Structure 1
Amino acid sequence: MRLLAVPVRIDALWLPAQRTVAGPVADFTRLPYRDPVTGRDVHPDQPFLSEGILPAPFEEELTLRAGVHLHWALPDALTRLVHGPHAGQPPRVPDRWLVTRTDPDGRRARWVVESDALTDGSTSSVPYPLSPEDPPGPSGRPWRRLGRVLPLGAWPGPETDRVARLTALGYGEPTFAAFYPHSASVFGFFDPQGTRPPAGTRYDLLGWYASPALDELAGILARPGAGTWAQRVADELGWAAGPEGAAPERMVCVGRLTLDPEEELSLLETGTTETGVYLGDSATEALAAHLGAELPGVNADEMEQLLEAIDVADRLESATLDLPERLAEARHTAAFTPVAAGTRWTVRPQDAVPGVDPAALLTAAGPAGLAPLGAAPAREVADLPAELGDLLVALNAAQAAHEQAQAQADGLRQRLFADWHRYLTCAYPPPENRTDYPDPDLAAAYLRREMAALDALLAETGEFPPTGPGDTRAHRLATALAAVEAVVARVNAALPEGAGYRLQQLPDDSYQVPNEPVVLLTGAEATGSDRYGSDGEHPAGLLPCVLVEAPGAAGVLADAEGVAAAGDLVDGFLTGLPEPHPALRRWTGQPWHPLLLHWEVEFLPAAAGTNLDPTDRDYDPEVVSLNYRLPAGEVELEPRPGHRLAERAAVTYSGSTVLSTATRPLLSARILRYLAGGPLARYNEDRVAAGLGPLTPEQVTGEPGALLAWCAEGSADPRLGRLAAAYAHLAEHEGSNLAQSLGGFNDALLMRRLTRQLPILDPLGFPSGQLLAEQVRDRVGEQNRQGPVPLADFNPLRAGCLRLLRLRVVDSFGVGHDLSVDRPAATTRLRVPDRPGWIALPPRVAQPARLRLRLLDAEQPARPVSGLVESSPVCGWLLPDLLDDGLRVHAAAGQWLGSLLPDPDPDRPDLARWLPAPSRGVPAVEQIGNPGLRAVVDRLRGYGADRLGELFGSLVEALDAVGEEGDGGHQVRSRLTGRPIAVLRLSLGLELLGPPAIHQDWNVFRQDLGRTGRETNGFPLVRFPVRVGAYGRLGDGVLGYWRHEPDGSLGVEYHDVPGMAAAGTDPPVRLAFGLPEETLTVLLEPAGALHATTGILPTVSVRLDPAHHHDALARLETGFLAAPVLTDAAGVGLVLPATEPGRRWTWRERAGDVWTETEDPPAPTPGFPTDVTLREGWLALPTAATTR
C-alpha cells in the first residue's frame, strides 16, 4: 500500500519528581449527575454550571508524575477549519498512535495510544464531556475518560466505545490539542521512567486513522478536482507530496525525538527578570513603545509616533490636508474594534462597480479620514420617481426596527441565561451558607416572567422573511421591501436591457467596542513557539512529506503484527532522513512553548460622580464632565486638573488568554512596505546617478539589505534611519516577543465572564425543574457565552487607571513562569504622571456602542435623507456680502431670496433689516418656503443689527480657516462675495448594541425579583460631550450650529465653533445612551466635512454630496447695489470685468414697482455724456438659465 508520511513534531518534558502545573480549562469530574443504578445524586451541592468546574487563573491543580511526558503537535492542515458538510469544524485527526521507545542499547518498548477510546475506569485518561452523539457510559456521568494506552503486545485489547468525532478542538476548546493537560492521553504519552533517561534514547511516533474512510488525505483525493493529486494535496493541505506517480491510498503521521547525548538534561529554570512588559491599546502600539525605549540614539516618544504613523499610513496615503489630525484620529480609531450592526438599503445602477455605492449621498458615518463613498451622478438617478425616496426611507427604517428588536431580544436572552445561573445557585447553594441566597421558587417565577417578556418581543419582531399573514416587524419589513422592489421593477421595465437599477444591501454604521489592554512581553521567556503554524515556513511554503511503500499488513495497520511491521518501516525511514527535517527533533533540554497568559490587574476608577458611593449607587449624569474634558482639536478625553482616582474602590480582575506571536511580522512588514514606496524611489535616484540599475519593490521585499543600509547611512531624512533601525531590531529579535490582549477585561467590568458554558440542564432537578431548564434552553439559544460574576464591581464606564498585579506565562505542558510587573512600560498617551507602572484608561464604554450621525431631509425634517439625489439635507444658503457686510439668503436650488443687513429694521429697530432681493425676492422672512432656512433667518434677524454684524465677522474668519479644494470655477464671484454657507440639519445620538448592561450583584438581584426594571446604576443617563466641528482643521467645514428644543424649534443660542475653540469652552452637546437624539441646524462650508467627536468612540464624519451643492453653487446669483452711477440718460453704460463661462452681467433698475433688466449692459460711449443722469440699480451675475 502506498502511504504518504506526514511529519509531526514531538516534544518531551522530563520530570525527576512529580510537579504541579496548570490544569485543563475545566474539571468535568465535578459535574453533578444522578447515578442511574442507585438513583443517588452525585455532587448534589454543585449546580450544573461552568463556574463550578473552571479553575481560576494562576491555579495549579494538575499533578504530573515523574517520568517522560511526550506531546505531539498535529500537522497544521489538520487543525484548521474546513468547508463542506462539517463547515466550521476542523477535520478529523488520526486516532491511533504507535509510540516506540528505543534505548541506546537497542532495546525497544512499544505502546498504542487509542485517541478516540471512551472508558470509565482509568484515571490516567483525561475527562471528556459527552456530546449527544457520543455513547453514554453505564454510570450516567455527563463525562467519560478519553484515550487509552495499551502495550503493543496486548493491542487491540477489549472493545470499548469511541468518541463520535475526534478533532483538534476536542469538545470545542481551541487549545485542546495544543495544551498537554487537555489531551495528555489523546495526543500525548507518559513513560513512567523513574530515573533520568540515558542519552541517545529516542521515541518514534506513527499515527494513522483506524478507519480508512475517515482519512483526511483519502477523502480529499476521492473528491473530484482539477490538477494532479500532488497539486491538490499542496493546494488543500499545504503538503509537498514528493515525486509524481500513483496517488497514496492513505496518510500516516511520523516523527522522532532523540535525547541528544551531547547535552545534560537540564531542569526547568525559574522565571527571569529580564522580560520586558509593555502595554498599549493594540499589539502594534505596545511594540512601538518597546522599540522607542530599546533602540539606542533615538527619542522614545518620537520613535513611538513614527512607528504608529507607519501603522496607519495605508489609511492616510491619499490624504492631503490635516495629516497630524488624521493621524491622531486613526490612532484613536485603532483603539477600537468594529462590531457589525446590520444592513441598510440603497438603489444603484445594475452595471455599477461592485463594492462601490454610487447612490450614496454622503459619507457613511465612520472613522474620520476614510475615503467617502462615491456619489451617483445626476444622470444615473434622473429617471427614478420621487416616491422611491420615501419608500427607501421607510424600508431602511423597517430594517433598523427589525434589527434593533433582534439585538434587544439577544440582550434579553443573555440576561435570561445569567438569571438561570443565579437560579441554579439558589437551588443548589453551598452547604455552609444556604440562607445567603434568594428563594429558588422566587427566582424560578422571575425566569418565567422574563421568558414571557421575551416571547412577547419575539412575537412582535417575527422572523424574516415572514410566512403567512401578520403585523410583525418582519412583516412590515417585507412589505416595505416589496414596495421598493415594485418601483424599481417598474422603472427597469421602461429602460433598455442592462441600463436599469437594482436594490442592494450595504453594511450599516458599525458599533465599536474598546480594545482590551494589550500586554507585550519581550525577552527570553517571551520566545514564541514554532510548535504550531510553522508548516508553511518550509520551501515553497509546503510541509515536506514522503511517499512510502508499505507491503502487506504494514499498510493495513489493522492488527499488532501489521502495526509492528509499519513501526519497523518507519524506523528505517526516519533513520534515513537527512537532518534537519521537520520529522526529526533533538532534545537538549526542557521545552518552552508559551501558550497561555494568566493576568491579574487592579482597576482604579475615577473618583467623582461614579457608582461606588455606598449611599448612592447611581452614576452622576455629569460624571464624565466632572473628571474629564474634551480639549479643542483633540480626539481623546483628558483628565481635568485635580482629577483623582478612587483608590479605596479599586477592584481586582483576572483572566486567562492565548498568546500570539503575530505582532512583529505585521509591523515589520508595514515598515518594509513603506520603505519600498517613496524612500525606494529616492534610493533608486542615487543608484541611477551612480550607474547602478534601480530596484523594484519585489526585489527589496526579498532582499531589503541595500535599501536599509541607504536609509541608515545615505539618506538625509533621519526618520528613515530610525525605521531601518526598527526593522533591523525586529528582524534580530523576531522570535522573542509575545503579545495578547487581557481577554475578558471588558466583560469583567460588566460583571460577566466570557468562557465556554455548559448546556442548560438541571440533571438533579424535579420534573418541574427540568421542564424549566428545557424552556430556558429553548429561549436562550446560542446566547449562553457569558456567565455572571456577582462578586465584583459594576463598571460599565471604563475610566480610570490600570495596574498590573501578576502575569504568568504558561507553556504547552502547563508549566508556568511568573513575570516581574514592577515597572511595566506604556505608550506615551497611556502613561500616568508620577505613577510609574500605572496605565491610564481614558473613558470608554465597556459594551459595543456607536455615535449615530444622520443628515436630515431638508423638505421632511423628521426623516433622514433617503440616499437618492432628490433627497437633500441642504435647507438653503447664506452668502456673505463683502460689500455690504450682510448675509444674502438663497434657496437650496440657488435662488436669491433677500439679504440680512446689520442695520436696524425701520419698523422694528430691535431686529436686523431684511432686504428682499431685487426682482424675484421674498418680501418678508415669514414667506421663505423652507422651514429650516426660515427658522435660521428669523433667528439671525432676531439677534439685532449689532450682533448680526459680529456674527458676520466671525463667519468670514471661520470660512478663511476652511481649506477649499480648487476654486470651483467661480473666481469672479468669489472676489465680490464671500464663500457660500450651507444650512442643513442633522441628528446626533448615542446607541448601545442591545439593552444596557445590568448589575449582577446578588443583593441587586434580590431587589430585581420584586420590580419590573433592572439595575443599571443610571449608566444610560450619563452624558458624554460631543464636539461638533473641528476648528483648525482645514478639512472641516462646520462654522457653528443651533441646538433644537425638545419641541423641534430652533434654539436661541448660536454656538460659534471658532469662538468655543478659542475660549476652550466645553462642547454644549452632551448625549446619553438613554436619552433621545439631538437635532442640530448647522452652518457648513460645503467644501469641508462635518466631524463629530466624543472621545469615547471613534470620530465620525459626513460630507455633502457634490450633487447637493455643486449645481446650487453654480446657480447662486451674485449681485450688489451700484449707486450712484453717472451715465447717459438714454441708457446705462458700465465698465465691467470679464465674466465666467455661462454667466453674463445684468443691470437691474427699478422704476416705482417695476423692475427692468439690461443683459450685457454696453460700455460707456466715448466722451462725456450730453445728458448726464444719476442711476441706482443692481449689478448681478445670474446663470444663463436664471437670466432666461
Structure 2
Amino acid sequence: MENMLVDIKNWIVPMEMEAICFTADDVVKEKVIPQAADFKKMPYRDSADMSFYNSGPNIGERLLRKPFESNGSLETGVHLHWSLPFVLTHAKVDEDAENPELSFPKAPNRWLVCRRIENDLKYWLVESDLLFEEQQKGTNVTIPVEEWKGNGKPYRHLGRVRELGDVTDDSGSIPRFDLTAVGYGEPTFSAIYTNCQGVFGMHDSLEGVTDHETIKGYTVIGWYHNSDSGTAFVDVNDLRLAVEKSALVEDDQDEDTVSEVKLENLLYQGTVLFKSDTDGDMQSSDLIAEEVKVGVGNTSAEAMSAITGADDVDGEHVLNLFGSNSYHVLNDQDGEREANKLIHKEGFSSINGGVIWEIKQEEGTDEDSFVVADDIERKLIALNTAQQEHDKLAQEIEHYRAQLFADWYKYLLARYLPNYAPEKIDLNAVMDFMDQQVESLKTKALNETALKNKVAQLKRDFKDSLNGTKLELNESEAPRFWQAQNPVIAIELKENLKEGSQQTAGSLKAREVDGTGTVELDKLEFIARPFTPQRKKIFSKLIRDFDSITPDTDFGEFKPNYASWTSNAFSPVLLDWKMMYHAIKKIEGDDQRDRTANYEANFFLKNYQLRAKEEDAVLRNDIPETIAEFYSGSIILTESAGRQHQQSLEEHFGNESGFTSPLVLSQAMSGFNDALLMAKEVLQVDVNDTMAANELSELFSNTEIRNAIGDYNDTSPMPFSYFSPIRCGALSIAGLRLIDTFGRIRELNATEVNWSKGILAKEKKKWLSQLELQSGDSNTAPKVPIRPRITQPARLLFRWLTDRAVNNSIGTLIKSPIQGWIVPNFLDRSLEIYNPEGEFLYTIRSNENGRKLIKVNEETSFDDSGDHSNLDTWVKHLLATRDRTYLNKFLSTINQSLQNINPAIRSQYQELASLIGRPLALTRASFELELHGALAINQSWDSFKIDIDKSTPDERDNSDLFRVEFPIRLGDVAQESDGLVGYFLESKNGKAVYTTFYSQSVENDGGGFARAKPEDLKLKIGSSFTLTMLVDPMAKVTATMGILPSKSIEIPSALFTNALHNMEVRFQMNPIMTFPNMLNSADSSSQGDDETPFYLPLPGNPELSSKWTWQKPNEEISQVEDSTPFEAVIPDYVEFTEGFLKLKL
C-alpha cells in the first residue's frame, strides 16, 4: 500500500519548560554568559552614507563568546525557557535531494505565553521569526544578513514579544527568518536562554505585581503561523518520538499508510507551576565552587570507566569493556585481544576514504568457480587507479581551499589589525600569493573534472566488457581514514550541585484535546492563523486546563506535562574547558622560531616504543619540561555515557547487575585536535570583507577569494600557537566551568581528575605510584602523558600484491596473491615446493654432508618469467647460499610459528601437523601511510612569510613531518587467528632481499634469521614499501602501528581452495620392507585393473585413507589401501622397495 498523508488534528506535542526568578541580589551575584554570537559587532561600510562602523576584520572571533567569558546579565523578574522536543533538535539528511545535506525541521514561529497570578491570566505573544533593523523590547538575538550587499546593517534583530492586548496584525509586512532549532547555525541556539530570549524564551518583569500576590505558573503554546501546508511536513517516524503511534492514525486508516503530518496540525505546549510554599521567596541559593568527580579518556566509555573504577585499574578495564560494547567478542577466538582492539579503535573517528570498484559474481554463482580473465583484471586496475587519483585530488582540493581561507583570514588581520601581524608582512605580496593559490585551485579543479570524466568512461567501457559473463561491477567504500578522537571529559555531579529543584511530571506523549468549552482570548484569531473554529476550541481547552491544573488534577491517561518550581534549579548544558598541553616537540608559532626545531626521522622511535601484545605505543622516558600551551573550548554536555554503561550491564547481567549509573555528563573536547594544528574550531562568518574600501579590494575578497574557498571556512588560524601535527606529550586540566540553560555558571574544582588507562602513554598503576611519590602543590593538576597520534586523519593501506608487472596495490582482489606454496616436512626435514596452482614442483633438502641444499624429485618445470617468479628466486637463493643448519632453523621457526597459529577455519590436514606443516603461501603485500588531503602546515606568521617568499603555494612549511618514521608490528604471535610465519624485506624496486628471514618465532638472531621487531618496519607519511611474506592462507595477517587502528587482511578462500585440492604431500619411503601379499593383491578380481593397489598400514584418520597413493620412481601411481594386521607367521622371504607415499590434501 502506498504511503498516504493523513490529516491529524487536535494533538499537542509536549515540551519541557523551565523558569528562574531573579532578584536584585541575584543580578549582582549571578555570573551569566553573554549570547553565543553578537552580530551587532560586525564591521561594515554602509554604501549609503559611506561611513565605517565597528572598524576591523570581519571574522567570527570578534563576534563570539569566548570560553570562560561571563559578562552577560539577566534582569530582575521571571525568565522562562522552553526546550524544543527531540524531533526538532536533531538534523536529518534528505537522501532524495540532489545534494544531500543535514537539515533541521522547521521550528514553531509563534508562541502564546500565559501567566496565572491568583485568579488572573495575562497573555504575551512571542513572534519568533520576525526580523527587525532595531532591537525589540524583550529580545536579544541578532542574525547576519544573507548575501549582504553593503546597504545598511549586515545584521538584523530576531523576534518580538508583545502583550496580547497590544497586538495588531502587522506581521505580513515584516521580513521573516526560516527558523530552526539552531537559528543562524549555532548548536546551542535554542538550548540556552541567553541565545534565544524573545525566540524560545521570555522575560516577565513582574511589572505591577505586588509582594502579596502569588504566581501560580506559566504555560506556553506554540504553533506554525502561516506555514506552507503544502510543503511543510514533519516525518511521522520522527514525530513518533514525541507522539504515541496510535495517535497518528484515523480510525479507518492503516497506520502503515501514515507518512507525514502537516505542520499546521501540530501544537506544542510546556507548563511550569509554582508551588504555594514559594510565595514571596524568589531567592537563589548561594553559589559554591563544587568538587566533582572528573574523568578523561579517549571515549565517553573510557572517561566514565575512569570515574567509576578510579581506585581499581582492572575494574576500570572491565567497565570499559561493557561501556564500549566490546565485551561481546570475549568468547570469540583471541577474544581478549580482539576486545582491546575494538576499544583502541573506538578512540578514532572514521572519515570516508573514497570509492573502490569491485567485481562480484552474480547471485547464485558458485564461489569456487570465480575466474576472471586477464583483460578484465587490467581494466579493473585501470578504473580503480583513475578513481583513486580522482579521490586523492578531491581531498587535496578541500585541503587547499581550507588553507586559502586561513591565509585570507591572516590577510584581514594584517590589513585591519596591523599591531597583530609583524611589520614585515607585505599586503601586496600576500594578495599576489593568494592569487597564485586561486590559480592553482582552478588548475586542480580542471584536473579533477578530467579525472571524473575519465572514471565515467572507464566505468562504461568496463561494464561493456562484462557482457556475457556472470560478473557484475559494484561500487564499494575504499579504506577509511582515521582521526584520533578529541579527549572526552566526563563529570559526575553531586546532588548538592543542583540548587533548587524543578521536577517534570505528567505524560511526555502527545494527548488528544476535547475541544468543548471556551476561554475568551482577545485577538486570538489572527495570532493563530489559520484559526479555524476547531483550533479556537483547542486553545481554549489548553488555557482552561492550565487555569485549573494542580499536581492532583485527574486528566486521565494523558496528564499534561508540567514542571514544579520550588527554587531556581541548575541544569547543566555547556562546559567551558581549559587544557594545558606540554608538547614533547615544541615548534613555536612566532617569528623567533628556530628552524632546526623541525622533526627528525627518529623523533617517534626515540620517544615511544610499540611493545608486543599492545595496541598502542608507550612512552620511553618522562615528558621533558616545556612551557605549556593553553587551549580552551566550550562543549555541549550529554548523559549518554552513564546510560550506555547501565544498558550494557543490563544486557549482559540482566536487571540484577546492581550497577546504577550516577548522573554523569560527558562530551568530547571538540577543537583540541584543530588547536594542535594551529586552527580554531569556532563559528565562522561568510567570506566577506565588509570593510572593503574600493572596488579592487571588494573584487579580490568578495568574489575571487570567496568563490575559491567555497564552504571550506570551518576553522580559523592561530598564528601564535604551537604546531603539533603529531599529538604527543602531556595534558593537564587548567579549568572547568559548567553553564546551565539560563547561562548561569558554576566553577568546578579540577585538581582531582581520573585519567583512563587507555589515554595514558604509561602503565597506569606505575604512573599512579609515581604521582604518589611526587611532592609539590596538591592544587596543581598533574601532567598526564597521552598516547601518541597523528593529528590529521590518516590511514594505513595494507594490501596484497597480485602482479609484479603492474604493481596491483589498488586494494580489490580478484586474482590470488599467492606466489607459490611451501609445505614443511618435519619428518624428512625438507621443504615441499608447489606452484601457485598447487602442483608439486620439487623437494628441497640438504645434501649428504649438509653443506648445501639441493633440489630433488623435480617433476614439473617452472617458468620463472611468469607472474609468480618470487618463489623460484627464493629457491635459487636457498640453493646458492644456504646449508642444513639454515634449513633446520627455518623448519624450527616455521614449526614454532605454527604452534601459535590456529585459524578458526580448520583444515583437513590439521591432524598431520606433527609430521608435516600446513601448506604455507608465499605472498607479497604493500604498505603505505597516507593522509587525508595534504600535509598540515605551520600557520605562524614566520612560516607564512617564508611561504610567500618562496611563491610555491603547494609547497608550504610543514616542519618536516614527512621525515618522521613510524614503526609497524607485523603479525602477532600471541594471536591464534594471525597467520604470519615471517617475512623478507624487499628493495625499492620490489625485489625481495632474502638475506634475512624475520619472524617473531626466531629464538636467536643470526645465520640469516632475525626476531621481528616493530623497528624493523618503518613508514613515513606518503611513503610505501613492499614485503614478501610466508603466511597460513586460512588466517588473517595484522599490521599494528598504535597511532592508527590495527589493519588486518586475509585471502578469500575462493582464491586458493582449488590449489589446496590439487596438493599432494610426499613422504619418501626408502626402503620399505614388505611381505609379498602387501605388494600385489592375490584377489583375482583385481587382475586386469589399470592400477594395482598397494597395501600398507596407514597412519592418521581413517577418513583420509582414500587420499593416500604410492609411487615408485619413474612408475605409475598406485592407490594405497589399508592392509590387514600382520599374522604371527614369518614368511619365507620379504621384498624391499622404495618410493613415495603421497597424501592428497
* TM interval, short-chain normalised: 0.7 to 0.9
Q: CA deviation at 1:985?
A: 0.5
Deviations 1:404-430 (A, max 9, x none): 111111111111111111111122125
Question: Which of 644, 649, 665 is the equivalent residue of 1:738?
Answer: 665
Match of 1:1034 in 2: 976
**Structure 2 residue aligned with 1:754:** 681
Contact 1:413/1:783 (<8 A) preserved: yes
Alignment partner of 1:622 is 2:561: no
Aligned to 2:165: 153
Amino acid corresponding to residue 259 of structure 1 in structure 2: F
Does the alignment pair 1:789 with 2:718?
A: yes
Is the CA contact 1:810–1:817 (under 8 Å) kept in the aligned structure 2?
yes
State the match for 1:40 in structure 2. Answer: 51
Cα distance in structure 1, aligned partners of 2:521 and 2:832: 97
Letter in 1 for 2:164: L
| Aligned twin of 2:775 | none
1:276 aligns with 2:254: no
Letter in 2 for 1:1027: R
Give the structure 2 partner of residue 266 of structure 1.
283
Distance 2:389 2:128 in 1: 50
* Distance in 2 between residues matched to 1:982 and 1:531, nearest whole Å: 69
Q: In structure 2, how many angstroms separate the alpha carbons of the residues matched to 1:1115 and 1:411?
A: 52
Partner of 1:1135: 1096
1:386 shift after superposition: 4.0
| Letter of the 2:181 counterpart | A
Q: Does 1:181 align with 2:194?
A: yes
Counterparts of 1:7 and 1:1174, CA distance in 2:
96
Distance in structure 1 (CA, Å) of the matches to 2:734 and 2:972: 40
Is 1:489 aligned to residue 467 of structure 2? Answer: yes
Aligned residue in 2 for 1:494: none
Which of 610, 614, 617 aligns to 1:637? It is 617
Whether 2:816 is the aligned partner of 1:872: answer yes
Counterpart CA distance in 2 for 1:828 and 1:875 is 43
- Structure 1 residues 150 and 245, CA gap change in structure 2 (3 angstroms): farther
Matched to 2:197, the amino acid is A
Equivalences for 1:19-168 in 2 at 5 Å?
A: 19-44=30-55, 46-81=56-91, 88-104=102-118, 106=119, 109-122=122-135, 124=137, 125-132=139-146, 140-156=152-168, 161-168=174-181
Alignment pair present for 1:286 and 2:303: yes
**2:1040 aligned to 1074, 1089, 1093, which one?**
1093
Q: Which residue of 2 aligns with 1:330?
A: 342
CA offset at residue 1119 of structure 1?
A: 1.5
Match of 1:821 in 2: 750
Q: Of the candidates 390, 404, 416, which is equivalent to residue 428 of structure 1? A: 416
Residue type matched to 2:312 in 1? A
1:219 is displaced (CA, Å) by 5.1
Instruction: Pick closer, same or farther for the CA change 1:318–1:308 going to 2, 3 Å.
Output: closer
Counterpart secondary structure, 2:290? coil
Give 1:918 shift. 4.6
**Pairwise CA RMSD:** 3.9
Do the aligned partners of residues 1110 and 120 (structure 1) sit closer, same or farther apart at CA in structure 2, a change above 3 Å counting?
same
Cα contact 2:31–2:70 (8 A) shared by 1: yes
Tell me the residue number matched to 1:377: 367
Matching residue of 2:1053:
1106
Q: Work out the CA distance in 2 between the residues paired with 1:117 and 1:929.
A: 72
Deviation at 1:645, TM superposition (A): 1.5
Shift of 1:867: 4.6
C-alpha distance in 2 between matches for 1:1065 and 1:1178: 37
Gaps of 5+ in 1: 226-230, 294-298, 353-357, 359-375, 463-471, 492-499, 677-703, 709-723, 1184-1188
Q: Select between 313-322 and 161-170 the one with higher mean Cα deviation.
A: 313-322
Sort the Cα spacing of 1:215 and 1:267 in 2 relative to 1 into closer, same or farther, 3 A.
farther
Alignment of 1:921-960 (within 5 A): 930-945=868-883, 946-960=885-899
Structure 1 pair 998–569 and aligned structure 2 pair: CA distance change class (3 A) = same
Q: Report the alpha carbon displacement of residue 62 of structure 1 after superposing the two structures with TM.
A: 1.8
**How far is the alpha carbon of 1:1070 from its aligned partner?**
4.0
- Contact 1:117/1:146, CA 8 A, preserved across alignment: yes
Cα pair distance change 1:573/1:606, threshold 3 Å: same
Partner of 1:1058: 1001
Alignment partners' CA distance in 2, 1:757 and 1:608? 28
Q: Which segment is superposed worse, 961-970 or 191-200?
A: 191-200
Letter in 1 for 2:413: T
Worse-matched range after superposition: 195-204 or 254-263: 195-204
**Contact conserved, 2:386 with 2:454, CA < 8 A, in 1?**
yes
Tell me what 1:1177 maps to.
Answer: 1139
How much has 1:965 moved relative to structure 2?
A: 4.1
**CA distance, structure 2, for counterparts of residue 652 and residue 55 of structure 1:** 17
Between the aligned partners of 2:38 and 2:380, the Cα distance in structure 1 is 54
Q: How far apart are the structure 2 equivalents of 1:197 and 1:900?
A: 104
Output the amino acid matched with 2:581: F
8 Å CA contact retained: 1:21, 1:61: yes
Tell me if the contact between 2:821 and 2:919 (Cα under 8 Å) persists in the aligned partners: yes
After superposition, give the CA deviation of every residue in 1:894-928 in whole Å (9 maximum; x if it has no partner).
Answer: 1221222244899xx5xx32223254466xx9689
Q: Tell me if the contact between 2:270 and 2:561 (Cα under 8 Å) persists in the aligned partners.
A: yes
| Alignment map for 1:378-397 (pairs within 5 Å) | 378-379=368-369, 381-382=370-371, 384-397=372-385
SS in 2 for 1:955: helix
Distance in 1, matches of 2:911 and 2:233, equals 72
Match in the other structure for 2:485: 515
Counterpart check, 1:480 vs 2:468: no
Q: Which amino acid aligns with 1:627?
A: N
Offset, 1:618: 0.9
Residue 737 (structure 1) shift: 1.3
Partners of 1:603 and 1:511 lie apart in 2 by 25
* TM-score when normalising by structure 1: 0.82
Contact residue 199 and residue 261 of structure 1 kept, 8 A: no
**In 2: Cα distance, 1:351 partner to 1:921 partner:** 39
Q: Residues 420 and 559 of structure 1: is their aligned pair in 2 closer, same or farther, counting only changes over 3 Å?
A: closer
Q: Tell me the residue number matched to 1:558.
A: 526
- Check the 8 A contact 1:611/1:619 in 2, yes or no: no
Q: CA separation in 2, counterparts of 1:1072 and 1:123?
A: 61
Pick closer, same or farther for the CA change 1:921–1:976 going to 2, 3 Å. Answer: farther
For residue 666 of structure 1, report the CA deviation from its aligned partner: 1.5
Please point out which of 1066, 1074, 1080 is paired with 1:1119. 1066
How far, CA to CA, are the matches of 1:968 and 1:1014 in structure 2? 54
Check conservation: 2:999, 2:1012, Cα contact below 8 A. Answer: no
Secondary structure in structure 2 of the residue aligned to 1:1010: helix
Deviation at 1:1006, TM superposition (A): 0.9
Size of the aligned set, in residue pairs, is 1058
The Cα shift of 1:603 comes to: 0.9
In the TM superposition, what whole-angstrom CA distance separates every residue of 1:464-519 from its partner, at most 9, and x where no partner exists? xxxxxxxx21122122211221122332xxxxxxxx44322122211111111111
1:846 and 2:860 correspond: no
Question: What secondary structure sits across from 2:336 in the alignment?
Answer: helix
Task: Return the offset for 1:625.
Answer: 0.6
Q: Which moved more, 1:970-979 or 1:510-519?
A: 970-979
Judge conservation of contact 1:858–1:932 (CA < 8 Å) in 2.
no
Indicate yes or no: 2:24 matched with 1:9: no
Deviation string 1:1072-1095 (CA, Å, 9 cap, x unpaired) is 443421101111122322010001
C-alpha deviation, 1:972, in angstroms: 7.1
Q: Distance in 1 between matches of 2:962 and 2:1095?
A: 66
Q: CA deviation at 1:966?
A: 6.5
Indicate conservation of the 8 Å contact 2:223/2:528, yes or no. no
Cα offset for 1:1170? Answer: 7.5
Question: Runs of 5+ in structure 2 lacking a partner?
Answer: 1-7, 253-260, 553-558, 772-780, 1081-1093
Residue 857 of structure 2: which of 899, 917, 920 is its match?
917
- Distance between the aligned counterparts of 2:832 and 2:806, measured in 1? 23
Q: SS of the counterpart of 2:649?
A: helix
Is the counterpart of residue 572 in structure 1 residue 560 in structure 2?
A: no
Q: 1:1134 to 1:110 in 2, by over 3 A?
A: closer
Map of 2:513 onto structure 1:
546
SS in 1 for 2:968: strand
Residue 505 of structure 1 pairs with residue 483 of structure 2:
no
| More divergent stretch after superposition (882-891 vs 742-751) | 882-891
What is the one-letter code of the residue matched to 2:678? M
Q: Deviation of residue 883 (structure 1)?
A: 2.5
Q: TM-score, normalised by structure 2?
A: 0.85
Paired AA for residue 725 in structure 1: G
- Tell me, what secondary structure is at the counterpart of 1:760? coil
